[in-house]
Structure 1
């Protein structure tokens, strides 16, 4: 029973001119001296080279791997040496250049090892797809879409109908016709592999009725298989994918959709034969059948040619008459393009080369104004409005072009073929498509740039917020430290009051007092020791109270030791006082003893002032050390520490002044004790300039120590100039302090 077919919408019947290249069987083209293999012979991302200049490669060896999902690897079509990798002219209407790999053939045609899979039904679908992908197979009848990507159908688009395209409707081209005549078994084997892979409910092989020899060969090879050979009337462009689907199934692929969306998958007969070679024989795609035809050739025909073969070398195989060559077209006369150079290589999509004479391919007449005849609309196989699209393209109304489904145009050239005004309609459509694609690409880039800009702004805002939060935290910390320094400064008022009270007591004791007993040297020493131990104990207790963590073992041990010392000293002082009291009660009261007691009491006040002075000096030194440590660490609380130093200096000055006032008062009293007679001369207090110079020396020393510590690490090492400047500043500060101290000493000596 003959399967029903549906008529093609539109279409034309141009002269076929196929007889020129079907008079002889397929020939094996000679190996060229060199091959040029473009890295982009398919739709999608170009392949990525995995060889270098100077490498020796074998036939069938992979020399460029797929670079992305929609991509295909490239294999060496001859054995030899890689001589160049870079931009070279490729088959294109503009004569453009793209990255290629050039191999100088060694003439030996040594193959790499091949892995056969005669028992392919045992392989999983994933393994079959991997073999097809690694073989670099792309569509051999059209745009060159990677076959493995096309076969990896989505689960929601299960394939119900597998269609094999054996139409080859364009004039002059007979590559598929001769392949079906001579290698029908390979085609049927490849179709069976596809059938096992996609598991459709029906498998159709469509062939036009102008190929009787091919139809007979296919029917014989397809006996006892699920493959149905469907013959239908010849009409151009019935070989288009969507047009063939309409002819064989009566279904139309919606605008903007793919055949897989309606459960149909299409493949070319040449692609099926390549799948057979890859799966069964393990051979990658390194050659294809190409039609060499035209009146400028003496022996036109079909050749199995290695990919990368220069066109001029291939034309020599068909005995080209160079003087008769007017135009060389790659592809058919309807959808092909004129080559700008004869040195470009044959690629995976090169199905035909037409070496036309001036008579065969005359120049296109100049375009005239559209007469609105409507022939173009009648010939359009996609039911578009070519005339309307032409006007929109002329007016650069790209939105209207998209609205009128410009991208459904298959660029078959039927509209231009029937146009009586010879308007190059397809060229207008191609140009408009290119501009629209460029605009869409620019919009995508703009959208991506906007996303990157917004992400950057968000990142900068987060960084600014983090910096602001850190600044506020530092400010709060500085405020707390400043408040603590102010509290310490206010606490220094108590020592000042104590010093003032000691001064008043010293003045009041100018008159001998009989009520207060005289202290012995032992009592004074015990009191001094007790005061020092008490001060250390209070300091340790305050430190433990301020610390939030639990005291460690060392702190607890120091606390117990100081408490024991305090108790021992208090006990010893109490015993010494008791002994002195007993001795005083047994002795007679005399004026001399009264005077001696008053002198002892006055000496006791001096001791208190001396202790206060020592404590003030120790506090000042501690503050200076804290400031120097903060300068080394570049801490944020330097200002608070500097204010603390100023307070400590003020307290030290007041203590020195108090002691200086108290000593003359003591000097007025008669000296009856050894302590009074053996008292050393008072050290003069420091003037303001000396204090300032000492602070400068401390700061310069701290800065120098900081730089020396930074120099220990290579990544933070300061420059030599910074270190020299710090050393110079420290030396100058020390020199200035020494000179001032010498001048001060000289002045005191003169007085």
Structure 2
């Protein structure tokens, strides 16, 4: 298949296995322009908004912060810093509900905006980025806290250091899931920013070509991106067919290049890197303006929302506040979904904050998204395998996941599953296949972590045993050497020579001479003994008497025996 790209240029496209043609429902949120929100009373910024080590707060309750100020970071290699989404005061750092399928809470920094929205002093813009090294640009991207904003939330600076030559840079503007339109709106309204980000990434990676892929159900976005192209650039805007999930990283790479990413491998292994358009725009802000990632575009949609649309939302704004600014609820929505209807997950409460990876709040009604029917027995129809874009066997994976045979399910390439939901969507028995696969993945990761911890503990135990054995061997060696020294015969004493006798006699004579001199000094008449009083004379006589007595005692003890 060939399609027109750039300005009259044609490019060959490939198709991936399976996929679905779904009603997109995108017009619901595209009828109104991009809107800004009013700052709420509180912003709740989770410390874990990325894949990797959780950031640690570097502010304290009561501290005033400015917009863009660093509020959390970590020295770990895989992490991403966080910045204040507006100016205000840090109220507390507490456990708060976060957007996660588990419904659990996490540590969050709570900020009370002051309404001024004052920026901190930002780092200088890197206008002439082509003169800067890749390390400098990566450091700026890392310090700006940019992660994959298509949902993966992997730190972008690490992804931009592949360690291998990159031939093809792909900017993912497919946005294939129904209802979600924030990337479409971004490309329509901020095409220049997206294109600047693509140029920065192409320079950083030194890629031969940059392909901006957009599904053909977004004609306005395609035209807007076409208008930003320069004739001399090796950047192409490629219109691709609308098939779900064409926005999946591996599927999009195959569509554009015909190459397959290896099982459990990375796109960099085949010379390709893929970034979302929102991530690309955030990189442009970081490099050209010095602005960290403090807000993002979010689609608020569904028949349960009064005024659906796309909003620029500060990180940390609660979904409840965002929905309120979108007119609030209507028509009694039966679900609150973070993300799209295929890959999103239900939220148990709307009191969860918007994070860097939150692209959509979906509130469908019962008529719009009926509850799934009760699961029935698998009839082995094979429809799940027909639509699987990863070319897996969901039926077999389901059986082994259900039996908790984790080793067997991994033999069927469990971790190649992108959890797109195509298999669950077409299953006539209404089996929630993706739920089983997510369970199997979680259990496999837990077992692997347990195995690693067990191996680490075993290594520590073996090291301790080896150390104790070495110390015991050294102790026994010292005892053995000591015994050997004790058993050795002492050397025979030499008989005294004539010189030895003369030396001893000379020492004795010298000692006697010193004693005589000392005695003579003691017998000398003391000075200043004239004109003494009777009391003084009595004291002197007493001292002389004690001295004579002591001398006699010494002489008696020094006499040789008879």
Question: Within the alignment, does 1:412 sit opposite 2:354 as a pair?
Answer: no
Question: Within the alignment, does 1:394 sit opposite 2:402 as a pair?
Answer: yes
Q: List per-residue Cα deviations over 1:354-396 (Å, max 9, x = no partner).
A: 0122222222210001111111111000110011111111111
Give the count of matched residue pairs: 505
Structure 2 residue runs of 5 or longer lacking an equivalent are 1-8, 511-556
Displacement of 1:337 in angstroms is 0.3
Say whether the 8 Å CA contact 1:243–1:381 is kept in structure 2.
yes
Partner of 2:299 in structure 1?
291
2:142 aligns with one of 121, 130, 133: 133
1:220 aligns with one of 227, 248, 263: 227
Partner of 1:123 in structure 2?
132
Compute the TM-score of the two structures, normalised by the length of structure 2: 0.86
Question: Within the alignment, does 1:336 sit opposite 2:344 as a pair?
Answer: yes
Say whether the 8 Å CA contact 2:303–2:330 is kept in structure 1.
no
- TM alignment of 1:703-742, pairs within 5 A: none
Aligned with 2:282: secondary structure? helix
Partner of 2:392 in structure 1?
384
Partner of 1:309 in structure 2?
317
The alpha-carbon distance between structure 1 residues 560 and 87, as it changes in their structure 2 partners (threshold 3 A), is farther
CA distance in 1, matches of 2:509, 2:222: 122
1:562 aligns with one of 494, 504, 507: 504
Q: List per-residue Cα deviations over 1:599-647 (Å, max 9, x = no partner).
A: xxxxxxxxxxxxxxxxxx99xxxxxxxxxxxxxxxxxxxxxxxxxxxxx
Say whether the 8 Å CA contact 1:94–1:340 is kept in structure 2.
no
Aligned with 2:12: secondary structure? coil
The alpha-carbon distance between structure 1 residues 144 and 478, as it changes in their structure 2 partners (threshold 3 A), is same
CA distance in 1, matches of 2:560, 2:284: 118
Say whether the 8 Å CA contact 1:293–1:353 is kept in structure 2.
yes
| Structure with greater helix share of residues | 1
Partner of 1:272 in structure 2?
280
User: Highest Rg: 1 or 2?
Assistant: 1
CA distance in 2, matches of 1:427, 1:366: 14
Say whether the 8 Å CA contact 2:331–2:365 is kept in structure 1.
no
2:82 aligns with one of 74, 79, 82: 74
The alpha-carbon distance between structure 1 residues 562 and 355, as it changes in their structure 2 partners (threshold 3 A), is same
**Which piece of structure 1 moves more, 315-324 or 238-247?**
315-324
Displacement of 1:468 in angstroms is 1.5
Question: Within the alignment, does 1:98 sit opposite 2:109 as a pair?
Answer: no
Partner of 2:213 in structure 1?
206
Displacement of 1:679 in angstroms is 11
CA distance in 2, matches of 1:270, 1:560: 105
- TM alignment of 1:157-196, pairs within 5 A: 157-196=164-203
Say whether the 8 Å CA contact 1:253–1:259 is kept in structure 2.
yes
Partner of 1:143 in structure 2?
152
- TM alignment of 1:35-74, pairs within 5 A: 35-74=43-82
Cα RMSD (Å): 2.4
The alpha-carbon distance between structure 1 residues 261 and 565, as it changes in their structure 2 partners (threshold 3 A), is closer
Displacement of 1:190 in angstroms is 0.5
Structure 1 residue runs of 5 or longer lacking an equivalent are 492-534, 542-558, 569-616, 619-677, 683-751
The alpha-carbon distance between structure 1 residues 538 and 317, as it changes in their structure 2 partners (threshold 3 A), is farther
- TM alignment of 1:521-670, pairs within 5 A: 561-562=503-504, 564=506
Displacement of 1:472 in angstroms is 2.6
Question: Within the alignment, does 1:237 sit opposite 2:245 as a pair?
Answer: yes
The alpha-carbon distance between structure 1 residues 476 and 176, as it changes in their structure 2 partners (threshold 3 A), is same
Segments ≥4 residues shifted beyond 3 Å: 473-480, 537-541, 563-568
Say whether the 8 Å CA contact 2:323–2:329 is kept in structure 1.
no
Say whether the 8 Å CA contact 1:45–1:67 is kept in structure 2.
no
Ranked by relative contact order (alpha carbons within 8 Å, sequence separation 6 or more), the top structure is 2
Displacement of 1:88 in angstroms is 1.7
CA distance in 1, matches of 2:280, 2:223: 18
Aligned with 1:111: secondary structure? coil
Displacement of 1:87 in angstroms is 2.4
CA distance in 1, matches of 2:221, 2:204: 25
Say whether the 8 Å CA contact 1:298–1:319 is kept in structure 2.
yes
